[in-house]
Amino acid sequence: MAAKRFLGQHFLVDARTVARIGRALAPTPDEALLEIGPGRGALTNGLLRRCERMAAIELDPMLVARLRARIAEDRLLLLERDVLQTPLREVLQALGRSDGERLVIAGNLPYNISKPIVQKLIRERDCVSRAVLMFQREVAERLTASPGSRRYAPLGVLAGFVFRIEPLFDVPPRCFSPPPRVQSTVTRWSLADGPALGHDHEQRLRLVLAACFARRRRTLRNNLKSALGDESRVDDLLASADIDGSLRAEALAPSAFSRLATRWDPGALV
């Protein structure tokens, strides 16, 4: 089947990569397993060798029909849906899982929705145990960048409060059909140590990160002044969080953004 560019389809065809992803995820028989975007089923087949039954979400109806013709329903619960519009809790329920259980997730993610999927996993973190996900390499670098790196960005900072994300290995274009024009990277996600990120604090963090990274070449003080409109208020905020306003956002550790979020007034934006 020909790939559809508008869906960002690049089908994984390399058996060695499939095996490495399976080993990295290592699902146990009692875990609830979900694959995002099974495509032609190469990774699906590899995962089914490691579990009795799993779920998969696929948007393309032609691929859904092909998979249903090849894989028995008692092995693969195939949902013909847009993953971005499908609550993960519904997947757990469809697998017959009880409240409080979490998903183990795998996927060769379409490049055009990889960032929205990261946002979805952050929002629905209560349904996620761990994951092994493939991204365009530049996106993976942003998700795993450290302070001071030019790749350090709000999405990676926010994701790091919920998950510990580590790059595992790169996958060259020849491992896909059709080959993409970029390198890919497989990443492993596990729940971060420390206190859970509360939903109220998450919203404050989003506001803080958007304001601080609004213009990367500007200092924190200048970016925050544009957001808050009051220099004295900005200086008070930075002083209370013990942060040097002459720094740029890329120099701050995640804990500094958390301190700012604790003191942030969501109604203070101009």
**Rounded to two decimals, what is the model's pTM?**
0.91
pLDDT of residue 112: 86
pLDDT of residue 111: 85
User: Do 43 and 206 touch, CB atoms closer than 8 A?
Assistant: no
Minimal CA–CA distance to 209: which of 164, 159, 153, 253? 153
Tell me the domains of the chain and their CATH numbers: 5-191 (3.40.50.150), 199-263 (1.10.8.100)
| pLDDT at residue 69 is higher than 60 | yes
Q: How many CA atoms lie within 13 A of 199 on its CB side?
A: 4
2 band by pLDDT with thresholds 50, 70 and 90: low
Quote the strand ranges of the chain, DSSP E: 11-12, 32-36, 54-58, 76-80, 103-108, 128-136, 163-171, 176-177, 184-191
pLDDT of residue 265: 78
Residue-wise pLDDT tens digits, 170-205: 999 999 988 888 899 999 999 998 788 998 999 999
Mean pLDDT of the chain: 92
Residue 89 identity: R
Query: Measuring CA to CA, how many Å separate 176 from each of 14, 49, 184, 186?
Result: 7, 21, 10, 14
Percentage of the residues of the chain whose pLDDT score is greater than 70:
95
Sign of the alpha-carbon torsion through 86, 27, 114, 182: negative
- 2 against 38, higher pLDDT: 38
Distance of CA 265 to the CA centre of its chain: 27
| pLDDT at residue 7 is higher than 80 | no
Q: How far apart are CA 63 and CA 66, in angstroms?
A: 5
Question: Average pLDDT in the 202-216 region?
Answer: 95
User: Do 12 and 133 touch, CB atoms closer than 8 A?
Assistant: no
- 210 against 100, higher pLDDT: 210
pLDDT of residue 269: 60
User: Do 40 and 99 touch, CB atoms closer than 8 A?
Assistant: no
pLDDT of residue 200: 92
pLDDT of residue 20: 97
| pLDDT at residue 268 is higher than 70 | no
Question: Average pLDDT in the 225-252 region?
Answer: 94
